């Protein structure tokens, strides 16, 4: 792939990441609004239950804890899976970079002149910069995915509860 092609590809990836970050922010805002609506509705349900325990909405009161546990468990599972994948990718990238550095050191050591050694060093440095930029974009993409995956079960539960409790 030519350098201009890589630049275009990376620019498109950065634009997708910016869009994903915006989506995550919107979903976070929706979740916060829904959570405040749910808290307000459930505080009323609890107050009514305290005022008249015989008419307390026990089903709704029991959901207050179990739904949170379910959503948080799903969120934690998503985070754990994504972070495991991310750790594996970072580890592989580090090992790949060790191999690139070893090869560059061999080319520098085998250079027949100072100019050839400088050229080998330059080639490694320029290639490293490109790899580092690509790895950072990939890392950013994966972190945005982890954020979205962690937020999704909580967002889904909060929005569904807010809609259900508005009746």
For tokens 């970050």, name the residue.
21
Q: Where do the domains of the chain lie? A: 3-165
pLDDT tens-digit readout, 131-140? 998 899 999 9
Q: What is the 3-state secondary structure (H, E, C) of the chain?
A: CCHHHHHHHHHHHHHHHHHHHHHHHHHHHHHHHHHHHHHHHHHHHHHHHHHCHHHCCHHHHHHHHHHHHHHHHHHHHHHHHHHHHHHHHHHHHHHHHHHHHHHHHHHHHCCCCHHHHHHHHHHHHHHHHHHHHHHHHHHHHHHHHHHHHHHHHHHHHHHHHHHHHCC
pTM over 0.85: no
Q: How far apart are CA 125 and CA 101, in angstroms?
A: 10
Give 95-150 pLDDT, tens digit per residue.
999 999 999 999 999 999 999 999 999 999 999 998 998 899 999 999 999 999 99
């Amino acid at each position: 792939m030519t350098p201009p092609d890589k630049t275009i590809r990376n620019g498109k990836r950065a634009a997708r990441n910016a869009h994903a970050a915006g989506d995550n922010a919107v979903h976070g805002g929706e979740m916060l609004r829904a959570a405040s609506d749910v808290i307000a509705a459930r505080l009323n349900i609890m107050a009514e239950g305290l005022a008249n325990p015989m008419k307390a909405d026990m089903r709704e009161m029991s959901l207050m804890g179990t739904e949170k546990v379910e959503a948080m468990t799903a969120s934690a599972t998503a985070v754990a899976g994504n972070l495991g994948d991310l750790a594996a990718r970072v580890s592989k990238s580090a090992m790949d970079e060790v191999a690139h550095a070893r090869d560059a050191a061999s080319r520098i050591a085998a250079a027949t002149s100072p100019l050839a050694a400088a050229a080998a060093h330059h080639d490694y440095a320029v290639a490293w910069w490109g790899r580092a930029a690509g790895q950072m974009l990939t890392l950013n993409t994966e972190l945005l995915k982890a954020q979205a995956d962690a937020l999704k079960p909580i967002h889904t539960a909060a929005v569904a509860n807010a809609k259900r409790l508005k009746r």
